[in-house]
Amino acid sequence: MSESSLAVPPITTRLSWQQELARAVRDPAELVRLLELPTTLLEPARRASRHFPLRVPYSYIERMERGNPEDPLLRQVLPLTVELDPAPGFVADPVGDLGASKGAGVLHKYHGRVLFITTGACAINCRYCFRRHFPYAQANASTEQWRPALRYIAQRPEVEEVILSGGDPLTLADRRLAQLVTQLVDIPHIRRLRIHTRLPVVLPTRVTDELLEWLAGSRLQPVMVVHANHANELDTTVASAVKRLREAGVTLLNQTVLLRGVNDEAMALTALHQRLFDSGILPYYLHLLDRVAGARHFAITQDRARELHRQMAARLPGYLVPRLVQEIEGAPGKRWLPP
């Protein structure tokens, strides 16, 4: 990111988050034009986007370097035909989410916490995401469909924490989220409300007064786990959004996916975790890629992942080192990989 683009506020900061979301780039030709990329990228991007559409907000594109096809932010969203190559071992549902689904958008795999699939929508389509194959038309819960999920939670006193996930829960309107929180507050054994979201990073204008109100204004302890993979994602607009969340009393954590060509260098990972803390976010998880069909080109070996983790740990204070984890179907939690 150049200094000049930081000095002059981009026009998108004057739009509401809903307007920004509606104007997200979906046409590969527009992305290629905006970033002055080689036009040879266009036809492959068109072909691959028929399987999983391109989707990226301007505010995120503004943090990419013009003319650089290898930009670490661009690589996360640019459709490539390599996604269409057959890749043995890379499957549609690598973490067994379909088996764990309790109906009506609840995933209950781990003790004490449930994942609530609030919506299938995201502000950005990340090419490495397991969601590219998830049948969200069924898993997606509308306000009315939330009823069975709420009943499921109410009937299980061991559940202390509800994790709003998706898709991205923050693509929903604050009014609906506030209604949901009101209903969760009425379940006495729920103590914590956790939000898994990429929006404060990808679309920082999403952090509205209304959001702070439902998120931090109830008896539930608010935790937000954001998702950034590279230091360039964290500009001053993200830092101000995070500052408002922290001032409201929200605990902020980050999860990162290890991605070849994006962050598979110790220096990149070190810089990311320093920059996260500059913004007031602590590291949580560093995930090995879920082996989802279409994402093989992002994979690195487990040995390489552990080596990168060791190198990063040798440069950072302990509290800035995330846990290296892998999701294993049927396990009682994310599996921590030894150093």
Ligand X SMILES: *Cc1c(COP(=O)(O)O)cnc(C)c1O
Distance from C-alpha of 129 to C-alpha of 141, rounded to nearest angstrom: 20
CA distance 253 to 169: 16
Does 109 participate in binding ligand X (rule CB under 6 A)?
Answer: yes
Task: Report how far residue 185's alpha carbon sits from residue 181's, in angstroms, rounded to the nearest whole number.
Answer: 6
Query: Which part of the chain contacts ligand X (CB under 6 A), choosing from 76-84, 110-118, 132-140, 203-211?
Result: 110-118
**What are the residue ranges of helices labelled H in the chain?**
3-7, 17-22, 28-34, 42-49, 58-61, 74-77, 97-100, 136-139, 146-154, 174-185, 199-202, 209-216, 236-247, 266-278, 302-313
Question: Of residues 54, 114, 126, 271, which one binds ligand SF4 by CB under 6 A?
Answer: 126
Other Cβ atoms less than 10 A from the Cβ of 186: the count is 10
**Candidates 33-41, 120-128, 142-150, 229-237; binding stretch for ligand SF4 (CB under 6 A):** 120-128
- For ligand X, the binding residues in 231-270 under the rule CB under 6 A are none
Nearest CB to ligand X, comparing residues 217 and 333? 333
Smallest gap from Cβ 151 to ligand SF4, in A, equals 26
Contacts 24+ apart (CB under 8 A), 267-271: 268/72, 268/230, 268/231, 269/308, 269/312, 270/312, 270/315, 270/316, 271/231
Q: How far is the CB of 165 from ligand SF4 (least distance, A)?
A: 8
Q: Please tell me the distance from the alpha carbon of residue 307 to that of residue 311, in angstroms, as a whole number.
A: 6
Chain centroid offset of residue 215 CA: 18
Q: Is residue 157 exposed (0-12), middle (13-18) or buried (19+ Cβ within 10 Å)?
A: exposed
Neighbours of 81 (CB within 10 A): 12
Whole-number Å distance between alpha carbons of 56 and 126: 9
Q: How far is the CB of 45 from ligand X (least distance, A)?
A: 30
Q: Does residue 115 interact with ligand SF4 by CB under 6 A?
A: no
b/e for 96-110, b at 16 or more Cβ within 10 A?
A: ebeebbbebbbbbbe
Q: Which does 163 bind (CB under 5 to 8 A by kind): ligand SF4, ligand X, none?
A: ligand X
- Nearest alpha-carbon partner for 24 in 244, 198, 163: 198
Among 75, 113, 275, 291, indicate the residue that binds ligand X (CB under 6 A).
113
Selected from 20, 71, 97, 168, the binder of ligand SF4 by CB under 6 A is 168
- Please state the closest distance from residue 77 (CB atom) to ligand X, in A: 23
Nearer to ligand X, 94 or 204 (CB): 94
Q: How far is the CB of 134 from ligand SF4 (least distance, A)?
A: 9
Distance of CA 227 to the CA centre of its chain: 4
291 binds ligand X (CB under 6 A): no
Selected binder of ligand SF4 within 63, 75, 194, 198 (CB under 6 A): 198
Residue 230 touching ligand X (CB under 6 A): no
205-244 residues near ligand SF4, rule: CB under 6 A: 227
Is residue 277 close enough to count as binding ligand X by CB under 6 A? Answer: no
| Number of residues counted as binding ligand X (CB under 6 A) | 9
Q: Is 194 in the site for ligand SF4 (CB under 6 A)?
A: no
334 binds, among ligand X, ligand SF4, none (CB under 5 to 8 A by kind): ligand X
Tokens describing residue 40: 């040879």
Binding site for ligand X (CB under 6 A): 100, 107, 109-110, 113, 115, 163, 333-334
Binding site for ligand SF4 (CB under 6 A): 122, 124-126, 129, 131, 167-168, 198, 227
